Structure 1
Amino acid sequence: MKFIDEVVIDVAAGHGGRGCVSFRREKYIPKGGPDGGDGGHGGNVTIRTSHRLRTLHQFRFKRQFQAASGGHGQGSQKTGKNGQDLVIEVPPGTVIRDRQTDEIIHDCITPGETFVVAKGGRGGRGNRRFATSTNRAPRHAQPGEPGETRSLKLDLKLLADIGIIGFPNAGKSTLISRISSARPKVADYPFTTINPVLGVVSPETGEPFVVADIPGLIQGAHQGAGLGTRFLRHVERTRVLLHLVDASEIDADDPLSGYKAINSELAGFNPELAEKNQVVVLNKMDLPDSQTRAQAFTRAAGNLPVIQISAATGKGVAQLVNKLNEIVNSGKHTNGN
């Protein structure tokens, strides 16, 4: 199934029903007064956050939504039936924007919350509403008001405790498949992961936490290279970043170059991302020369805490999970800048 995290939809609330022009007609009352009922109100279009959804996939083939209109008023002062509201469900983390102005209308975070994005039109008043002492038999009624129409842009930002970032082929997919039940595609070439993947980690103690495998970033990602801006958007929601570095690819002459390049892309997209708490992890420690390159990285990093693992063999992974569990469940953070 294709992961969809950005979509445009058009919504239209229901029109209000028109008021009725009617007069009371009963035996022995030849000149009964006006008794036209009001029209019913149009239905609203409401967005509801649902924990059952993970992507915006339901909008792949349906982009236009229309709420029901209100019923027309009838004689004998009968009010038309109100139009039924239309409820559209979205996953947590969905940001609703006005397509024309790009203004944020609502940020859907808590499952079960609802928000009206288009209000239904009011029903028109029937002719009995217009009777006066000088006009006892009005022959006009109001039409119903049109419902609101809007074009909306939905952006999904994954909600996760830990976001795994790094260059393509750093081993992010292998790591998340090792520590959680997630099973992303794993292969020995860049850009294996083209969609964000969520996995739930269940430590021995403490509450389970959610890890997001963010597709590999490349130079120029904050300007859109390699779909970078779409991937970086998901990083904004994470509490902590796990910065995964391929130890076998560390530059011996400039060990921190790759690490700094990723942080530069974060800062270019949103300066606050570069200040987000990080856990720096050197992966692929089972490969030749990785130990020597890792030592060079650690020396250059100074006081920056560094964890060494091999996601492929599992070495050091348990200790990493314990560290992440400590950070997430105790509220502690590691500054990786």
Structure 2
Amino acid sequence: MRNFIVRHQAPFLLMVLLGLIAATTFITTDDSLKVTLTEMFIRVIVVVGLYVFIGNSGIISFGQIGFMCIGAYAAAWATADPSFKQIMLSGLPTFLQDNQYPFLLATAGALVLPAVVALCLGIAIMRLNGTAASIATFAFLIIVNSVYSNWDSVTAGVSSIIGIPTVVGPWTAYVFAALAILVAYLFQISRFGLMLRASRDDEVAAHASAVKILRMRLAAFVLSAALVGVGGGLYAQFLGILTVDPFYLDLSFITIAMLVVGGMFSLTGAVSGVVAVTAVVELLRLLERGVTIGGTELALPQGSQEIGLGLVMALILIFRPTGLSRGRELAIVPARQAEAIPSPDALPLPGAPGNATR
């Protein structure tokens, strides 16, 4: 048991660190901090979802936020007030129009619908490589944004869906973030994750080793879409109001920036990138509002958040091209030392055959 925990310490350490961050809600009554932490945990889910595909396959996808949009609207359709849906969302099927479903069922819908769309889309896109695949995923994001902005009878178009119960807080978001980390890690250490990373590092050698590259990429793409969709579902049930505008370029770029800053080739990088970028953005936001030092109020000009984030990304790419994590997983006990720890079952018993001194 000890060996198992030491060898797989990264996800447990990440969960503990995020749990300590969530615990700060017990020592403060500041509602803005709770809002910030909830958004951060939701973004952890989304960026971990990005890592599952981008980090393991090496293909940059600009379209994953499209799955977040699909998941958010799936949750909104399930939980919004039926009286609103019957008037504004008349194109929905009757079982959605006339009913209001519980949180877990709505979140399950936010997982399943993006996964089904990703399965259908991925069969075509996963045959592409490199830039072609990235452009195809970006085209998917544009299509989702256009469809959801104009399908008035189902998505309310550019209007807002209201009446969504706000049941997601810091601890709910944390629990789902911990589950996302666990799922991503299990995929990472599975044979599917291993074969996918083999194709990322050397596609020719992977083909020669009978790796089904299309199948591995498709599995990661669907799992990534499911996790990102859950993040969207939680986001809708956190805000209580939903429009299509947030799920486009700004959110796409900031989530990819979080992955790059932390390090796109490790789960630790995905989580640390979210925490680091959130801290930088919140600090710059505070400075934009102004701080008083010695009776003098100092304030940064508007737009400093974007400039600061750009500078952080540039510095990371210059001095640490592999991100804050350098592509490594968080560990208290180094991996080599963990391998050297003997299992209690493997220790020889006194007087057992083979223990005699020669």
Q: TM-score, normalised by structure 2?
A: 0.20
Structure showing the higher strand proportion among its residues = 1
Higher relative contact order (CA 8 A, sep 6+): 2
Q: Which has the larger radius of gyration?
A: 1
Q: TM-score normalized by structure 1?
A: 0.21
